[in-house]
Amino acid sequence: MSRSLPLITTAERRRRLGRRHRLAPSARARTTSQAADAVVALHATDAATVYLSVRARLAEGGPDTVEQALYEDVSVVRMLSMRNTLFAVSAGFAPYVDAATARGIAVKERRTLLKHLEEDGRGLDADWLAHAEAAALEALDARGASTGGQLSAAVPALRQKITIARGKKYEAETGVATRVIRLLAADGRIRRDRPRGTWTSSQFRWVHTQPWPSVPVAEARAEIARRWLHAYGPATEADLKWWTGWSLTDVRTALAAVGPEQVRLDDGGTGLVCPGDTGSEPAPEPWAALLPGLDPSAMGWADRGFHLDPAHRPALFDYAGNIGPTVWWNGEIVGGWAQRPDGEIVWRLLGSPGRAAEEAVAAEAAALADWVGDARVTPRFRTPLERELAA
């Protein structure tokens, strides 16, 4: 039966990655939001990742171009979403991400915090939390963009301490400010604004904002699945389940709404693509890319065998499964890179991709060094090769 399915080869998957992820020079995006949409969402746990991921996909523009999109045009926004992880998505896509993921996270966050307040035994309850949230929003309206520390200084309720796991060996006293701010962000009532310091800083200011327009959950999940299949297909249910953090039932329901087609892969397996998306992708020109740690092109699948030699995993991943900075050649990870304290971009190829690859990677490293300028980028999740190169 599977032999009658359309075949998509590893080479074809790599061509798709180069073009659809806008990494080939001829496929580069014109705007930051286009770069984000190309990979559905940009990983944003590490502040620098957003900038460096956009830089690799943008036809032109420097860090200020990304800053303008994030903080002036607000055409791209950071949201706690898939896998309870921080992502940056285009403003047009944000309502779908909010409905499909952030809403559920907010419900769980609120339930957990209320449970901790009740267990603390100091009489703090849902009414107290509602007043603390309202006071935080009023402070933002009065003060403008503020860090968590500035909000805590302005709102006495945010300086409240509670005891977690009272009477147990792991009992700990903690402040509520971070939890209240996280809850307001998950609810879509505040968003991250320009950080203190440079574009590599994660000490964000917060601003009061309006919740996203309501979208039915089923429609939102189907839209995420459709966009993800276009960017990452052929892929599997397991890949989408890993990427979204949804239950298998939710994944299958969303995919059923999209109506994907099944294709045959040259490793003997099968994958799913969007309806009608079984044809061959035009081959882009040869391309090299230096992508940051947690870049979506490296993190988009649970099974990355078509673009990553398993023998390279120990050098490129940390103990928790986070991938570090990677060097790419024509849709395949062929090495890693790092920035040294003096600003030099250094890289190492794993294997022998050839002279053309070496020359293209060297040119890309020089361009990256110019783009970064005086900024220093140290990945939040450091990997063995990155540590070795940066030393």
Cis ω for the linkage preceding 234 (within 30 of 0): yes
The residues near 102 (Cβ < 8 Å, ≥ 6 apart) are: 79, 80, 81, 186, 188
The residues near 282 (Cβ < 8 Å, ≥ 6 apart) are: 15, 19
> What one-character-per-residue DSSP string does 194-227 give?
EESSSTT---EEEEE-PPPPP--HHHHHHHHHHH
> What is the chain's mean pLDDT, rounded?
95
Q: What is the distance between the alpha carbons of residues 335 and 316, in angstroms, rounded to a whole number?
A: 8
**1 has a pLDDT exceeding 90:** no
Q: What is the distance between the alpha carbons of residues 299 and 148, in angstroms, rounded to a whole number?
A: 30
> What one-character-per-residue DSSP string does 276-337 give?
T--SPPPPPPP-EEEEPTT-HHHHS-S--TTTS-GGGHHHHB-TTS-B--EEEETTEEEEEE
Sign of CA dihedral 6, 11, 16, 21: positive
Predicted confidence (pLDDT) per residue in 334-377, tens digit? 999 999 999 999 999 998 999 999 999 999 999 999 999 999 99
When pLDDT is averaged across residues 159-186 and rounded to a whole number, the result is 89
CA atoms within 13 A on the CB side of 36: 27
> What one-character-per-residue DSSP string does 6-30 give?
PEE-HHHHHHHHHHHTT-SGGG-BS
Looking only at the bridges linking them, the beta strands covering 345-349 and 161-164 are: unpaired
Q: What is the distance between the alpha carbons of residues 214 and 362, in angstroms, rounded to a whole number?
A: 47
When pLDDT is averaged across residues 294-298 and rounded to a whole number, the result is 97
Contact call for residues 121 and 113 (beta carbons, < 8 A) = no
* pLDDT number for residue 247: 96
Q: Give, as one character, the DSSP assignment of residue 102.
A: I
- In percent, the amount of the chain with pLDDT more than 70 equals 99
- Listed residue (90, 100, 115, 117) closest to 31, CA to CA: 90
Regarding predicted confidence, which is higher, 3 or 262? 262
When pLDDT is averaged across residues 187-193 and rounded to a whole number, the result is 95
Contact call for residues 125 and 196 (beta carbons, < 8 A) = no
Query: Can you say whether residue 331 is alpha, beta or left, with left for phi > 0 and alpha for psi between -120 and 50 degrees?
Result: left
**386 has a pLDDT exceeding 50:** yes
When pLDDT is averaged across residues 152-164 and rounded to a whole number, the result is 93
Looking only at the bridges linking them, the beta strands covering 7-8 and 261-265 are: parallel
Q: What is the distance between the alpha carbons of residues 112 and 105, in angstroms, rounded to a whole number?
A: 11
Count of CB atoms situated within 10 Å of the CB of 380:
14
* pLDDT number for residue 2: 60
Predicted confidence (pLDDT) per residue in 218-253, tens digit? 999 999 999 999 999 999 999 999 999 999 999 999
Domains of the chain by start residue, with CATH: 113-208 (1.10.10), 288-390 (no CATH)
Q: What is the distance between the alpha carbons of residues 209 and 217, in angstroms, rounded to a whole number?
A: 22
